[in-house]
A and B are shown apart, each in its own frame.
Chain A
Amino acid sequence: MKLFKHTWLALTLCIGSSSLWADEVQVAVASNFSKPLETLATAFKAKSGHELKISAGATGKLYAQIENGAPFEVFLSADSKTPKKLVDAQLAVADSQFTYALGKLVLWSSTKDSIDAQGEVLKKNEFKHLAIANPKTAPYGAAALEVLEHLGLTKTLEAKLVQGENISQTYDFVSTGNADLGFVAWSQVEKDGVLKDGSVWQVPEDLYTPIQQDAVLLTKGKDNTAAKALLDFLKTPEAQKLITDAGYGLPKAN
C-alpha cells in the first residue's frame, strides 16, 4: 500500500512537471537568432510565466540532433527548408510551420569608408579576401553567392572567397580584419537600426531569395502548451517589434 502511495505521488509529480502544467520550453535556435531570442524569452516570461531553455547551433547541426532524439520542443531555423524536412520526417507538427523573421544580408567591413552605399567596392575588386558563410550549409552563404551571381562577379571573385563555418564565424573573419569585407547578417552589425561600426552596403532584396527563417513545433513539444504559447507569442505585434528591432524583416502579411 505504501509502495502504491509512493508510485502515485511520483506519477502526480511527473505529470505536474511535464505536459499538462509545463512552464518550460526547450528551444533549438539557429545561432544567428540566439541573441534576439534571449530578449524575446524575457518578454515571453513576463507575459506568460513560461521559461525558455535555449540551445543555439547551426541549423544543419540542430537538424541532426533532432533527428537523433534531442529533447527540443520548438525549433527556430535559419531557413524554411529544414523545418519542412522535419515535418516530412514526422519530427515536427505539420501545420505549425511559419516564418518568424526575414534575414537581411549586408556587405560589411570593419573599417570606415571602405564600402560605398552602392556596393561598387565588389566591382572595383581591390580587396584580398571576401568572407561568406559556407553556402552549402548556411542560408546567408547561399544568399551571398546569389548576389555575386546576379552581379556577374562569381568568376572574378571566386579565388578571393573565404568561407566561415556559419554566419557568426564569417562575422569574426571580418571583424578581426582577416577578411577585408564579407557578407553577414544585418542583425549582427546593427544596434537599434544603426550600423555599430565600419561600413556597410545593404544588399537590395531583389538580388537574393528572401532568407525565410521558419519556426516549427516539434513532435516532442506537441503536448506542451507552453511551446504552443511561444509560437503564438512570436506572431504578436509585441514580439514582432522586438524582432525588427534586432535587425530582421518580417514576412508580408498574407
Chain B
Amino acid sequence: MILSSEDWIAIALTLKLASLTTLVLLLIATPLAWHLAHTERWWKAPLNALVALPLVLPPTVLGFYLLVVLGPKGWVGQLMQQFGLNTLPFSFSGLLVASVLYSLPFVVQPIQAVFSNFDKRLLEAAMTLRASPLDAFFTIILPLSKHGFLTAIVLGFAHTVGEFGVVLMIGGNITGETRVISVQLYNHVEAMNYQAAHSLAALLVLFSFSVLLGLYYLNRGK
C-alpha cells in the first residue's frame, strides 16, 4: 500500500463529504420517510417514485442537470447569484447538494420500511401520557426503528463514498475541494499509474466489504 499525500487528501475529503451528506440526509429523510410511510394522499406514489429516481438514473444524468441548473445560466444558479451567493459547481457545497440528492433513496427507504411497520397505537399511548411529539420521537420511535436508521446511515455513507459519475460531472477535479477518492482513483487509471490505482481500489473494496459485512451481522441480530 503506497498512498501519496494527494491520496490522503482525497480520502479525508471523501470521509468529510460522506459524513456531512449522511447527517443532512438524516434530517431530511426522517420526516420524509414518516410522511411516505403513513400518508394515503394521491402524491404518495409520485413522491415514492421521485425519491427512488436516483436508484435507476445514470449518475451522469443527475450530474448533467445539476451542471446546467446550478450553473450561472441555470435558474437555480441565477437565483443564488441574485442573493449574492456563489454558484455550486466546482465547490464542496455543490458536491454536498449532489450527494444528498444522489444518496436520498438509500437513506429514505430503510427508514420508511421500519416506519411502515411501526405500531401507531404506541404513539397514542405516549400522547395520553402527555409526551411531547419530540419526546415520543426520541423515546419510542427512534429506539424501535433503530435497525432502519442504522441501515440508512451505513448505506447512505457508503453510497456517497462510492459516488463517481456526479462528482466527475460537476466537481472539476480540485484537490481538497472536489477530488474525492473515486475521482483520484480514476485519475490514476487515466494517467496509467496502475500501482497507485491498485492501492486506492483495494482500499475501497476492503471498505465496502467491511461495511456490508457489518450490516449483515447487524441485521442478523434483529
Binding site for B on A (CB under 8 A): 58, 60-61, 63-64, 128-129, 131, 134, 136-137, 161-165, 169, 172-173, 176-179
| Nearest B-chain residue to A59, judged by Cβ | B190
| Known interface pairs A60-B192, A178-B72; A162-B187 also in contact (CB < 8 Å) | no
- Report A-chain residues with C-beta under 8 Å of the C-beta of B192: 60, 63-64
| B residues in contact with A131, CB < 8 Å | 172
Closest to A67 in B: B192
Q: Select one of B68, B90, B172, B187 contacting A136, CB under 8 A.
A: B187
Which residues of chain A are near B190, meaning CB under 8 Å?
58, 60-61, 134, 136-137, 165
Which chain A residues border B68 with CB–CB below 8 Å? 176
Please name all residues of chain A whose beta carbon is closer than 8 Å to the beta carbon of B89 when the two chains form the complex.
173, 178
- Inter-chain contact A177/B73, CB cutoff 8 Å: yes
The residue of chain B having its C-beta at the shortest distance from the C-beta of A134 within the complex is B173
> Quick one: given A60-B192, A134-B187, A137-B191, are A177 and B71 in contact (CB under 8 Å)?
yes
Tell whether, in the assembled complex, residue B191 and residue A176 are in contact, meaning their CB atoms are under 8 Å apart. Answer: no
Shortest beta-carbon distance from A83 to chain B in Å: 14
Q: Which residues in window 62-117 of B have CB below 8 A to A?
A: 67-68, 71-74, 77, 86-87, 89-90
Verify if B174 is at the interface (C-beta below 8 Å from A). Answer: yes
Residue B153 is within 8 A (CB to CB) of chain A in the complex: no
Closest chain A residue, CB of each to CB of B169? A169
* B189 at the binding interface (Cβ < 8 Å): yes
B172 touches which one: A58, A61, A137, A162 (CB < 8 A)? A162
Contact B174 A176 (CB under 8 A): no
Q: Which residue of B lies closest to A85 (CB)?
A: B192
Interface residues on B, range: 20 to 34
Pairwise interchain contact B87-A163, C-beta atoms closer than 8 A? no
- Let me know if B37 is at the binding interface, CB within 8 A: no
At the interface, yes or no: B152 with Cβ under 8 Å from chain A? no
19 additional contacts (CB under 8 A) given A134-B190, A165-B186, A177-B71: A60-B190, A60-B192, A61-B190, A129-B172, A165-B168, A165-B173, A165-B190, A173-B89, A176-B71, A176-B73, A176-B74, A178-B67, A178-B71, A178-B72, A178-B89, A178-B90, A178-B170, A179-B90, A179-B172
Chain B residues, CB < 8 A from A177? 71-73, 77
Residues of B within 8 A of A136 (CB): 187, 190-191
Report whether A163 and B67 are in contact in the complex, using a CB–CB cutoff of 8 Å. Answer: no
CB within 8 Å for A162 and B71 given contacts A60-B192, A134-B187? no
Asked whether A163 lies within 8 Å of B191 as measured between CB atoms, the reply is no
Cα A178 to Cα B76 in complex, Å, equals 12
Contact across chains for A60 and B90 when beta carbons are under 8 A apart: no
Distance, CA A128 to CA B174, complexed state (A): 14
Q: Tell me how far the C-beta of B104 lies from the nearest C-beta in chain A, rounded to whole angstroms.
A: 23
> Which of B71, B73, B174 is close to A163, meaning CB atoms less than 8 Å apart?
B174
Contacts of B187 in A (CB 8 A): 134, 136-137
A161 to B177, CA, bound (A): 12
Q: Are A162 and B173 in contact (CB under 8 A)?
A: yes
**B23 shortest CB reach to chain A, Å:** 27
Q: Which of B90, B172, B191 lies at the interface centre, i.e. has the most chain A CB atoms within 10 A of its CB?
A: B172
Bound Cα distance from A111 to B187, whole angstroms: 31
Residues 176-209 of B, flagged 1 when their CB comes within 8 A of A and 0 if not, give: 0000000000110111100000000000000000
